[in-house]
Chain A
Amino acid sequence: MSAENLQLFEIFLRSRRGLDHKHVGSLHAEDHEQALEYARDVYTRRSEGVSIWVVKSDDICASQEDDSESFYDPSNDKPYRLATYYQLPDEVNNM
């Protein structure tokens, strides 16, 4: 089989129990199983993770950074969503 038939997979690692998986990179593999083994070999040689997720890159639908201005526009002008927007006197400020 030629290398062109390999698919691209995105690799996510959980560094410690209890934490979220984080994207660490990608690799080529025949299928999910092989992607998992490759990911182990490539991305966890120094015990960087306790759990690996592999996802076909094609299955990822990403927002476009070029459009970010209009995409995130509905949230950008709402500072009252932040705790720091509310000024409270020192006596009661620790809430």
Chain B
Amino acid sequence: MVEIDQQQKFQNKIDAEIKIEPKDWMPEAYRKNLIRQISQHAHSEVIGMQPEGNWITRAPSLRRKAILLAKVQDEGGHGLYLYSTAETLGITREEMINALQDGSARYASIFNYPTQTWADVGAIGWLVDGAAIVNQISLQRTSYGPYSRSMVRICKEESFHQRQGYELMLTLSRGSEAQKAMAQDSLNRFYWPSLMMFGPHDTESAHSASSMKWKVKRETNDDLRQKFIDQTAPQIEFLGLQHPDKDLKWNDEKGQFDSGEINWDEFWRVINGDGHCNRQRVQHHINAHKEGAWVREAMASYQQKKKSKAA
């Protein structure tokens, strides 16, 4: 009975657009749903540093190197904001890292694609961060207060990520034939995986219904994806590149683009561990974590020393 009252009160708050804070009562399933989503989001920020990090030492100019370094550093910071946000729900950093490393937690499948050319750095900033921004703007209105506030902070920082990527693509597409071809190839490889970032169709999405009812998510996967398709089409045109979706067509009646179908077999294959880089990404994370162990140990023993001196 008490439980039912709590449930009702909780849902009333959600319906009235009142944010839920860490010490408020919440249904266990809401807490679990949030922990899953926020930790997955955090893992994506952190694993997402790898494909771009691959090009830091080979950036074509000091300016580009400084920009890329600053962007990758931001993503590490986003990971931190999000892990801390998840921790307000009573899970530890260690549990989350373990789940990432043993494969029980997911991260965005886009980061399992390799970065083969310099243009990929541009395509990622423009398309991958662009898709992430569409999603994160919507999540600023999520019902969990700490998550909502970290989205506000992250969105502010994201703004340069997409612009530097597009600027890079613009430079290449106004460059030599070879540079233009490189930009086109990159767009071809990253366009569809970027659309997949919004997740399966609403009809196939396992968590969508409860996420919408609890306002953890505010817009559905398909609605967000449509927004991204619509905003990206004119940007591709401006670059003077070919649109990778041959079925893309403006629909006057709907006021939006009709588009071709995503290769869902590829989506599920990569999500379930069989992308180009799945094993490498997680292994690299494990290695980095192991190689950093001496730093954590040194800091702990320094603390110990300081304490025993003070005593």
Judging by beta carbons under 8 Å apart, are A17 and B21 in contact? yes
Residues 66-99 of B, flagged 1 when their CB comes within 8 A of A and 0 if not, give 1100100010000000000000000000000000
B70 touches A86 (CB 8 A): no
Once A17-B19, A89-B238 are accepted as A-B contacts, the answer to whether A95 and B145 lie under 8 Å apart by CB is no
CB pair A80–B160 under 8 Å, yes or no, is: yes
A85 on the interface (CB 8 Å rule)? yes
Stretch at the interface among B47-55, B162-170, B241-249, B275-283: B162-170
Encode contact with B along A51-94: 1 for CB under 8 Å, 0 otherwise.
10000000000000000000000000010111101111101100
Least CB distance from B162 to A in Å reads 5
How far is the CB of B208 from the nearest CB of chain A, in Å? Answer: 23
Shortest beta-carbon distance, B163 to chain A, in Å? 4
Count of A-B contacts judged by CB separation below 8 Å: 52
Q: B273: CB under 8 A from chain A?
A: no
B296 lies within 8 A of chain A by Cβ = no
A33 at the interface (CB under 8 A from B): no
Number of interface residues of B (CB under 8 A): 24
| Secondary structure dominating the interface of A | loop
- Give the docked Cα–Cα distance between A91 and B235 (Å): 8
Judging by beta carbons under 8 Å apart, are B70 and A88 in contact?
Answer: no
- The answer to whether A80 and B70 touch (CB under 8 A), given A88-B163, A92-B166, is yes
* In the assembled complex, A20 has its CB within 8 A of some CB on chain B: yes
Q: Could you tell me if B238 and A85 are in contact, using CB atoms closer than 8 angstroms? A: no
Q: Does B234 contact A (CB under 8 A)?
A: yes
Nearest to A20 among chain B residues (CB) is: B149
Q: Are A95 and B130 in contact (CB under 8 A)?
A: yes
Cβ contact within 8 Å between A91 and B234: yes
Please state if B234 and A92 are interface contacts (CB–CB under 8 Å). Answer: yes
B160, B231, B235, B238 interface centre (most CB from chain A within 10 Å): B160
**By the criterion CB–CB under 8 Å, are A95 and B18 in contact?**
no
Residue contact A95 to B235, C-beta cutoff 8 Å = yes
Nearest-CB distance from A12 to chain B (Å)?
Answer: 13
Please give me the residue from chain A that is nearest to B152 by CB atom: A20
Residues of A in contact (CB 8 Å), total 18
Given A17-B19, A95-B235, check contact A88 B166 (CB 8 Å): yes
Contact, CB under 8 Å: A88 / B167:
yes
Tell me whether B184 is interfacial, beta carbon within 8 Å: no
With A17-B18, A17-B21 already in contact, the answer to whether A80 and B163 are too (CB < 8 A) is no
Q: Is B8 an interface residue (CB 8 A)?
A: no
Residues from chain B with a CB closer than 8 A to the CB of A86 are 160, 163-164, 166-167
In contact, B238 and A92 (Cβ under 8 angstroms):
yes
Q: Which residue of A lies closest to B163 (CB)?
A: A86
Assembly CA distance A73 to B235 (angstroms): 36
Q: Is A92's CB under 8 angstroms from B149's CB?
A: no
Which chain B residues border A87 with CB–CB below 8 Å? 167
6 pairs across A/B with beta carbons < 8 Å? A17-B19, A18-B19, A80-B164, A86-B166, A91-B238, A95-B166
Which residues on A are within 8 Å of B, measured CB to CB?
A: 17-20, 51, 78, 80-83, 85-89, 91-92, 95
Closest 7 CB pairs of A and B: A83-B159, A18-B19, A86-B163, A83-B160, A17-B19, A86-B167, A80-B67
